[in-house]
Each structure stands twice: as structure tokens, then as C-alpha cells.
Amino acid sequence: MEKSLILIKPDALQRGLAGEILSRFEKKGMKIVAMKMLHMDRKLAEQHYSIHKGKGFFAELINYITSSPVIAVVLQGKSAVEVIRRTLGETDPAKASPGTVRGDFGLDIGYNLVHGSDSIENARKEISLFFGTDELVDYSRDIDRWIQ
């Protein structure tokens, strides 16, 4: 089963949407295998978003993601990266389909509620930024046999 990282961003926490967002992933069959709330410092934020370094919006992105706590979550499931990305919807909420997290709750491309890893390789890297291997919990659920 694939693992992927999501970050429930400051705007989602400030708007009281964390539970609703997590619920959507669980309803899609994703299993939470690690979760923690943290206030990202600049160093971690710059590591996580290093792919955007040098872009015009980088400083604003770092200021935003460090402005308030986030919830880091590792989800596990069949085709986790793809399922999570589809559940999130387009990065720009104005283009996101109804029924997706961003389509239903997103207000602005700069405040788009949730980060989701965009590939299996990036998921591995991102998970290791936020969690040690000893923090990932392996467990079975009775429902797992029904959602293969």
C-alpha cells in the first residue's frame, strides 16, 4: 500500500475544516498511519517547499505556512498519491471541481487548505521531513478487507 503526506494548512485550521478534510480521506479508504500538529519553522518550510525557491511567490508561501500551526498526516492506501490528489482537486480553487476539498472549501490559490504529495518519490521525501520511521504506525482495520 502506498503512503503519502498531506499538510492541513493554516487557513484550514483557522476556518475549522481539519476534521472535515480528514474525514474525506478516510471515506475514500485512506488509513491514517501518522499525524501531528506543529508550527513549522522557516527552516522546515524552506526545505519542504525548496522546489519553489527563487519563484516570485516563495517568500509569501513561507510566511503563510509558518503563520499558524499545520497538521501533518501520513495516509496509506491503494494508489494513495493519486486518490489524495483527486480528492484535493486543482490547486486553484476557482478551477477545482465541486466535490473536491478545494472545490468545496477553497477560496484562493494562495490559501488552498491542504498540501498533498505529487508523486510516490516526493511522498517518501516529504514524509521523512515530518516523521521518523518509528512514528509511522502499522495496524490493520477490519474494514481493510472491504476496500482493497
Domain ranges of the chain: 2-137
Closest CA to 52 of 38, 39, 64, 34: 64
Return the CATH class of domain 2-137.
Answer: alpha beta
The model carries a pTM of: 0.94
Q: Active site includes 39?
A: no
| Catalytic-role residue among 39, 48, 52, 115 | 115
**Structure confidence by residue, pLDDT tens digits, 31-74:** 999 999 999 999 999 999 998 999 989 999 999 999 999 999 99
d(CA 85, CA 75): 12
Measured in residues, the chain has a length of: 148
Closest CA to 73 of 15, 14, 19, 1: 19
Can you name the residues that pair with 73 across neighbouring β-strands?
6, 35
